[in-house]
Chain A
């Protein structure tokens, strides 16, 4: 049962991402992307990481994508109807390099990975936070510092000069 959900959600992710990257209009692209992130959150839940799924929706789709929308709307980038997507000349290096990397990855995945126990397990918040704050406590501190830097930097870069 869960397998079917996984594949459906995987299809949604792929289609949404594909639409996002080929969309000329930036806002449409971001909305597609949010869709893709929702589906990805579902996949995270199916893989036994409900906390990460929640964080994905709240932080990624909720904060970061909204931030993108703010910036796009704040910047006056001209008529979106007249925006031109990349031409074939722009696309072919992407396709070529993407194909190479994809091919290499599939080749590498061809090595068999030993199966462990089947079944679906589920990491609850208690266990997650135990590992996070005990084992990776220093990482938490560092990340909070980093968020502080980012905040200060964003404030500084975005200031308007006083006349």
Chain B
């Protein structure tokens, strides 16, 4: 492996934290939350691939592919929900939809 696994994991960690920060900071905007989730999932993929490369296994890459497939289905559903909600209240502010209160 070209770099120590620790470096790959550090990179993955920083990317993950950035995605988390995006999801928290933009917590009022549905779309930015989803983007933050995408970033986090990418970081996870990087960690898997790095681990697979370190231990010379293909399984890391397989799981990374699985994540990608799941992500795509999740994004399509999430975005269609965003469209639906926007049609209802003409806004993508997450705090508007608080009917689950209590």
Q: Which residues of A contact B (CB under 8 A)?
A: 2-3, 6-7, 10, 13-14, 17-18, 20-21, 26, 29-30, 33, 36-37, 40, 43-44, 46-49, 51-52, 55-56, 59-60, 63-64, 67-68, 71-72, 74-77, 86, 90-91, 93-95, 97-98, 101-102, 105-106, 109, 113, 115-121, 123, 127-128, 131-132, 135-136, 139, 143, 146-147, 149-151, 153-154, 157-158
Closest-CB distance, B81 to chain A (whole angstroms): 6
Beyond A109-B13, A132-B58, 7 additional contacts (C-beta under 8 Å) are A71-B82, A97-B21, A128-B61, A132-B65, A136-B66, A146-B69, A157-B83
Residues in B whose Cβ lies below 8 Å from that of A106: 10, 13
Find residues 52-76 in chain B having any chain A CB closer than 8 Å to their own CB.
52-56, 58-62, 64-66, 68-76
Q: How far is the CA of A116 from the CA of B35 in the complex (A)?
A: 35
* Contacts known (A18-B18, A26-B32, A120-B2); A131 close to B55, Cβ less than 8 A: no
From B20, B38, B62, A94 is in contact (CB under 8 Å) with B20
In the complex, the answer to whether A127 meets B58 with C-beta atoms within 8 Å is yes
Write the chain B residue with the least CB distance to A18: B18
Question: Could you list which residues of chain B lie within 8 angstroms of chain A, going by C-beta atoms?
Answer: 1-11, 13-22, 24-28, 31-32, 34-36, 38-39, 42, 45-46, 49-50, 52-56, 58-62, 64-66, 68-77, 79-84, 86, 90, 92
Report the separation of the CA atoms of residues A154 and B77 in the bound assembly, to the nearest whole angstrom.
Answer: 5
For the residues of A in contact with B, the DSSP-based class is helix
> Is B58's CB under 8 angstroms from A77's CB?
no
A40 touches B77 (CB 8 A): no
Q: Which residues of A contact B8 (CB under 8 A)?
A: 47
The reply to whether A64 and B61 form a contact with Cβ atoms under 8 Å apart is no
Provide the bound-state CA to CA distance between A119 and B61, in Å: 18
Residues of B within 8 A of A128 (CB): 58, 61-62
Which single member of A17, A113, A158 contacts B5 (CB below 8 Å)? A113
Q: Which residue of A lies closest to B60 (CB)?
A: A49
Chain B residues contacting A64 (CB-CB under 8 Å) are 38, 71-72, 75
